[in-house]
């Protein structure tokens, strides 16, 4: 298994648990145990590749509410802004123009916030 960023995972887990633990404790537990402490650290795909697949799947299925977190994670895992932009262009042809355009405001917001944070 790949190494886990324990600090980032603890922060993610704590936030999800605080927000949703009382509503769906099983889903929160499975999100931590199965998704982030198993699937995301399997060595067959690098974290950047898993992030790229995840962001692409979210855009393709019009799940814009999840794009902010996962695009940020993808960029933390090495995906550049230029590459993320190219993902949108590529997906427009394979996942549909409306899905790519629906993702644009979310992607722009992630880019803007990251640029502001770097300044």
> pLDDT at position 74, please?
98
pLDDT tens for 49-106 read 999 999 999 999 999 999 999 999 999 999 999 999 999 999 999 999 999 999 999 9
Contact between 42 and 2 under an 8 Å Cβ cutoff? The reply is yes
Which structural domain range is residue 27 located in? 1-44
Residues 62 and 40 grouped into a single domain: no
pTM: 0.93
Residues 71 and 115 grouped into a single domain: yes
Which tokens hold the place of 92?
């427009």
Write down the H helix ranges in 46-96.
Answer: 47-60, 64-76, 81-95
Number of domains making up the chain: 2
Residues 14 and 54 grouped into a single domain: no
Residues 52 and 40 grouped into a single domain: no
Per DSSP, 92 falls in state H
Report the CATH number that the domain containing residue 54 is assigned in CATH: 1.20.1290.10
Residues 92 and 115 grouped into a single domain: yes
Which tokens hold the place of 41?
């650290």
> pLDDT at position 67, please?
98
**Residues 6+ positions from 64 with CB-CB distance below 8 Å:** 58, 102, 103, 106
């Amino acid at each position: 298994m790949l190494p886990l960023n324990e600090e980032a995972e603890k922060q993610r887990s704590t936030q999800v648990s605080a927000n949703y633990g009382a509503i769906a404790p099983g889903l929160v537990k499975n999100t931590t145990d199965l998704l982030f402490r198993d699937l995301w650290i399997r060595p067959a795909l690098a974290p950047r590749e898993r992030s790229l697949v995840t962001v692409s799947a979210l855009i393709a299925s019009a799940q814009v509410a999840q794009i902010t977190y996962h695009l940020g994670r993808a960029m933390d895992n090495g995906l550049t802004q230029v590459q993320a932009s190219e993902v949108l262009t590529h997906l427009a042809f394979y996942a549909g123009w409306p899905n790519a355009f629906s993702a644009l405001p979310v992607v722009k917001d992630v880019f803007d916030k990251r640029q502001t944070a770097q300044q």
